[in-house]
Amino acid sequence: MRLGEEHPQWDRIQIVLIGSFLVAMIFDKWSLVSFGYSSILDRLLHLPELLAAAIFLFVSGIYLLKKSHDAVFGRVGTPELLDSGVYSLVRHPMYLGGLMIMLSFLLLNLSIIALVIWAAYALLCDWMATYEEKDLARKVGKEYEGYRESVPKWLPRLSRKSKMNKRG
C-alpha cells in the first residue's frame, strides 16, 4: 500500500516516452535514412568504457527498481513513510532506476534523438517526483519534511557521515 499518490496520467506518459525512446534509438542507429549523428558520437567515444558504464548503470538501475518495488509493494497494512533501504539513499529510487536503465541503452547506441527523449523523460520524472513530494508533505507533514532534508532527491551522497549528521 502506497502512502503517496502519483499523477493519474503518469503511466500513459511513461509508455509514450519509453516507446518513443526505443523507436528513436532504432531509427537513428539502423535506419537506411540515418542522419549520421550517431556515427559522430561513435568516433568520439570508445566501446570498452561505454560498455563498462552501461553495465554499471543497467545493474544499478535493476537493483534500485527491485529493492524499491519490494519495499513499496511488499508491505501490507497501514501505509507509512519509507525511509530505509534504497529510500535512505535517494527519495525516488524507482524513477532513478528506470532512468539509469534507459541511459545504459543510450550509451550503447549513442543516438542523439534518443538522448533528447531521455532528457525529456528525466525532466518529467523530476516533475512527477515533485508532484508526489507535495502530496506526501501534505499527508505526512513534518516527518516527510525531515526526510526530504536528510535524503537527496536524485543522487546519493558519497559520504554517509554527512547524511547521518543531518538526521542525527
Please write the tens of the pLDDT for every residue from 18-69. 888 888 777 776 654 555 555 555 666 667 888 899 999 999 999 999 999 8
pTM given for the model:
0.78
Count of CB atoms within 10 A of residue 99's CB? 20
Indicate the average pLDDT of the chain: 80
Q: Looking at the predicted structure, is the pLDDT value of residue 137 above 80?
A: yes
Crossing angle for the helix pair 112-140 and 93-109, to the nearest 10 degrees: 180
Higher pLDDT, 6 or 51: 51
Q: Check residue 152 and give its pLDDT.
A: 95
Q: Looking at the predicted structure, is the pLDDT value of residue 5 above 90?
A: no
Q: Check residue 61 and give its pLDDT.
A: 95
Q: Looking at the predicted structure, is the pLDDT value of residue 112 above 60?
A: yes
Identify the CA nearest to 53 among candidates 1, 111, 103: 103
Q: Check residue 13 and give its pLDDT.
A: 81
